[in-house]
Chains A and B, each alone.
Chain A
Amino acid sequence: MQMEILAQYFPLFQEAAVLTVKLGLAGIALALLIGVICAAVQHFQVPVLRRIAAIYVEVSRNTPLLVQLFFIYYGLPKIGIPTNPYLCGVVGLAFLGGSYMAEAFRSGLEAVPVIQTESAESLGMNRAQTMRYIIFPQALSVSVPALIANIIFLLKETSVFSAVSIMDLMFTAKDLIGMHYNTTESLFLLVIFYLMILLPVSIAGSILERRLRYAGFGA
């Protein structure tokens, strides 16, 4: 492995990492939003919408991200919706992640016993207050481990972005290997950069989980 090649490639990977993180975060933020909405619609059994949410969850969970990306990238312009690689990456990630987030939120909501709602109502709280002060905080603390696992999963999934010509880490590595055959250096940097993105998330996640260990019910 040659140091000067590592030094030469470093800025390229750095740039790609920033792009990966930006698109990843945007996709994850949207996925969280979709997840909250789907989970709420299903948990509170909103007519019609809960069926739509259920179908979406099944489609999203049972198709690979690569297929979803191709569909958005090549499919949407055919029906008149213009698309670009970045938008496509973010939307694809959100489409995939939304269902995983929905399931995480839903298991949290389901873990809060009905008696908690009754207890809050017996104290004179209305539905919105019960949700905000009682159900949601407790559901969230149950959901956190699953949400963190999903975030890590989605950040890793960004590695298929290169398929729709987004110059992310994977794309950069493949590109450099193709041009200069510096396979070792390129792959080494690829691993290092993914670790630099994912390790802090993992560590922050474990700390958060430990702090939420107090979560429990019926006490």
Chain B
Amino acid sequence: MAFLEAEQLFKTFHTANGDVEALKGVSFSVKKGQIYGVIGLSGAGKSTLVRCINLLERPDKGRILLEDHDMTALTDAELRKERQSIGMIFQHFNLLMQRNVLDNVCLPMEIAGISKKDARKKALEYLEAVGLANKAHAFPVQLSGGQKQRVAIARVLAGKPKLILCDEATSALDPETTGTILHLLQEINKKHQITMVVITHEMRVIEELCDEVAVLESGRIVESGLVSKVFNDPQSEAAKRLLLVRQTQDILKGTGE
């Protein structure tokens, strides 16, 4: 049974310079506990797609089924409740600079009606889980990029999500930090059985993290399947091009295989 299912998503943006068709009939399905990757070059429509999943952006056409419930049919209030179980991690970490780490993690819990005391206790647990318990009273400016992303992950975990969406979660980080964040996401997925949809333009993220992958190009999925299959035997031009980008980078780094 599919845990998350996107059915024929269409989205067009109407701009001053004409219409931009960002999604042209995107469908895919994700099993429970799976880490599903979507890869594509910049402008392919990845962010639009991920924002359609939790309906930050309403698709013009198509449905999102989460555990067989149609998300697109929910009222705003129902949707907000549902969103609390869908965590989202962004490229830029979107922490509040005027609040310390602990308060950043507490805020959504307090707004959801959890008492201050309970929120603090839980927040500390989740900061512990992401390895940042010792920074609870630091302010975001005092943290590195990787540490800020850990805070954002703790904040998401505090909502007890059943699904986590990552939009270029590691794209602002250096390669080494990327590795540790990917490792953390994997650990969270294993330990809590949280399903994830990971959006990226980096091959490496897909290889290290995902079970299945879909290649998105100009608003369409041009290829999808097991990561090993797609990367070893790419069929589409887009997948071949992504592979080439990666190989070039490897050669430039002097670690060509």
Which residues of A line the B interface, CB within 8 A? 115-116, 118-119, 121-126, 129, 133-134, 137-138, 141, 212, 214-219
Contact = CB atoms under 8 A, between A and B. Distances in A.
Contacts of B56: 118, 121-122
A116 B104 CA distance: 13
B108 A124 contact: yes
A141 to B, nearest CB: 7
Contact of A126 (B80, B97, B108, B159): B80
B95 interface: yes
Contacts of B88: 119, 122-123
B96 interface: yes
A219 B140 contact: yes
Interface of B: 51, 54, 56, 76-77, 80-81, 83-84, 86-88, 90, 92-98, 107-108, 111-112, 139-141, 148, 155-156, 159, 165
B247 to A, nearest CB: 32
B192 to A, nearest CB: 18
B140 A123 contact: no
A214 B98 contact: yes
Most buried by B among A126, A134, A218: A218
15 contacts: A119-B94, A121-B56, A122-B88, A123-B159, A124-B80, A124-B111, A129-B111, A134-B96, A212-B98, A214-B97, A214-B98, A219-B93, A219-B95, A219-B140, A219-B148
Closest 4 CB pairs of A and B: A124-B84, A122-B88, A119-B94, A218-B92
Consensus secondary structure, chain A interface:
helix
A179 B83 CA distance: 74
A19 B111 CA distance: 44
A218 B94 contact: yes
Contacts of A129: 111
Contacts of B90: 115, 119
Nearest to B51: A118
Contacts of B111: 123-125, 129, 133
Contacts of A115: 90, 92, 94
Most buried by B among A124, A212, A214: A124
B140 A122 contact: no
Nearest to A121: B56
A128 to B, nearest CB: 10
B121 to A, nearest CB: 19
A119 B148 CA distance: 14
Nearest to A124: B84
A124 B107 contact: no
B126 to A, nearest CB: 14
Contact of B97 (A121, A125, A215): A215
Nearest to A137: B98
A216 B140 CA distance: 10
Given A122-B165, A123-B155, A214-B98, 20 more contacts: A115-B90, A115-B92, A115-B94, A119-B94, A122-B54, A122-B83, A123-B84, A123-B88, A124-B111, A133-B111, A134-B96, A138-B96, A141-B98, A215-B97, A215-B98, A216-B141, A217-B92, A218-B92, A219-B92, A219-B95
Contacts of B94: 115-116, 119, 218
A85 B51 CA distance: 57
B83 A219 contact: no
B87 A122 contact: yes
Contact of A122 (B86, B92, B93, B98): B86
